[in-house]
Amino acid sequence: MKLSGSTLLRRVARTALFAAPALLLSACMVGPDFSRPAAPASRHYDLQAERSLAAGRVDGALHIAPDRAPTDDWWAVFGSPKLDQLMRQAVAGNLDLDAADATIAQANEAVAAAGGALWPQVDVAAQDGRQHAGRGSTATRYAIGPQVSFDFDLFGGNRRRIEAQAALAELQRHRFDAAYLTVTGDVARQAILLASARAQMDALDELLADDRRNLELVRSAERYGSATQVDVALAQSQLAQDETLLPPLAQQRDTARHALSVLAGKGPADWTPPDFALSDFVLPADLPLTLPSELARRRPDILEAEAELHAASAAIGVATADLYPHLQLSASLSRAGPGAATLWGVAGALTAPIFHGGTLKANRRGAVDAYQASFAIYRQTVIRSLGQVADLLQAIHHDNEEYSAQQRALDAAGTGLRMSQAGYRAGETGLLQVLDAQRAYQRARIGQLRAKTAQYLDTAQLSVALGGHSDSALARRMARDNE
């Protein structure tokens, strides 16, 4: 039976199309198959800090709950509906997360583009030109028709390229998780700093009021001869020194407001975040703390390094496949004129490298070296992460110590103030002593507020450092986009 060119081309294309999956499955894949690195064997970050934070509960002190992971909405531990609402606004509107979304989509398209190499490639080709036919005559020659080609990928080079692109797409998803944790951590930090600045400014206002009353009393005493100009100068100096504390706190407040606007994707002049007070937050009864082995499967920066390691492993396979033969099938059909003759052709091509000046082997050795570098980076990322969590556990341990000391100082200042007030009512002490006691109390109050702020900030940092996924964030962003 004689087949026409077009029928033959269709059969070749159909055969290649349906044979492709079977051929790919039967073909081997050279190069290493990736396996995840082993998780850290250690069960602790800093044994001394963990023991201290797991010990008996003390009022105002933070306590850890070992082998428990934070939730995606980790800030819920602060029990602040206002903070939760602001977080949702920031996650929905943050432009860094928008960029990360688009980068994930781009990476997914790169995977799809690489996957196209596993299927027959169909193109159309056309030619047109003038040809000298001899004896002064010329003729127009043209040809047009489809072309089909298929790479059998005998040793898996194309599949390894797809594997590498898929690993890089996974890397971008982990970068989104990292951006999510960074954004939510920054929102919590700025909200806490805003609340802390307001609380300290309130305490400072009362301290300055005491300074001014103290100055007026000293001036009055100086007029009646019971105080000297030196006493007046000292009172003025104290007031001036305390007044210098106010501008930095105002700057902290305003900077936090501006930062929250930017995190929500708004200009500071276009949107004002809610005001926060320290009373809007509560310290959690227990701080979640995952095991190091779990940390290696949760932290986005570790998972990023793992995805890069996977891509480097696949690159070894690509470089290895280049050392082996390539088999390709091609077919073409065209109508050529003048005369409209039909031309067709089917060909199989086998190419095997013989001599490339050492390029192919050097490429493979370089891919192995790149894998070793990625593996070292992965291990360093894990170790650095363990160190960061250990630092935060020690910071929280010392926060507890500082808060306890500041609370004792506040209690002592409160006792001294009450005794001075009682002595003044009984006529045993002067008003100046009462004002000094009030000043000491307000200073102790500011110290206690700063210690409480450190506890809130380090709690937030620990939750971020323990890592997590952003599935809830992605869901909210998708819901926003569909509105």
Q: Among 60-64, 225-229, 250-254, where is mean pLDDT lowest?
A: 225-229
pLDDT digits (tens, 9 = 90+) for 127-170: 776 666 566 667 667 778 888 989 999 999 999 999 999 999 99
For the chain, domains (ranges, CATH) are 5-124+140-200+277-482 (1.20.1600.10)
- What pLDDT band is residue 9 in, cutting at 50, 70 and 90? very low
Q: Pick from 441, 28, 448, 34: which is nearest to 207 by CA?
A: 441
Quickly state the pLDDT bin for 460 (edges 50, 70, 90).
very high
Higher pLDDT, 218 or 192: 192
Residue 392: which of 452, 455, 450 has the closest Cα? Answer: 455
User: How many other C-beta atoms are found inside a 10 Å radius of the C-beta of residue 427?
Assistant: 7
Say what the pTM is.
0.85
Average pLDDT, integer, range 33-56: 91
What would the two tokens of residue 403 be?
A: 């808060």
Amino acid identity at 85:
Q
Q: What's the token pair of residue 43?
A: 């069960």
The dihedral formed by the CA atoms of 153, 158, 160 and 163, expressed in degrees to the nearest 10:
-130
* Residue 110 or residue 469, greater confidence: 110
**Given CA atoms 170, 172, 178, 184 in this order, what sign does their dihedral have?**
negative
The mean pLDDT value for 117-134 works out to: 79
How high is the pLDDT of residue 429? 78
Partners of residue 411 on adjacent β-strands: none
Please give the Cα distance from 264 to 272 (Å, whole number): 10
In 3D space, the residue among 74, 105, 96, 100 whose CA is nearest the CA of residue 87 turns out to be 74
Q: How does residue 24 score in pLDDT terms, banded at 50, 70 and 90?
A: very low
Q: What is the pLDDT of residue 435?
A: 82
Cβ neighbourhood burial of 267 (10 Å; 0-12, 13-18, 19+): exposed
3-state secondary structure of 286: coil
d(CA 172, CA 185): 20
pLDDT confidence of residue 32: 93
Q: What is the mean pLDDT of residues 21-50?
A: 83
For range 167-182, the mean pLDDT: 94
pLDDT tens per residue across span 275-289: 999 999 999 988 999
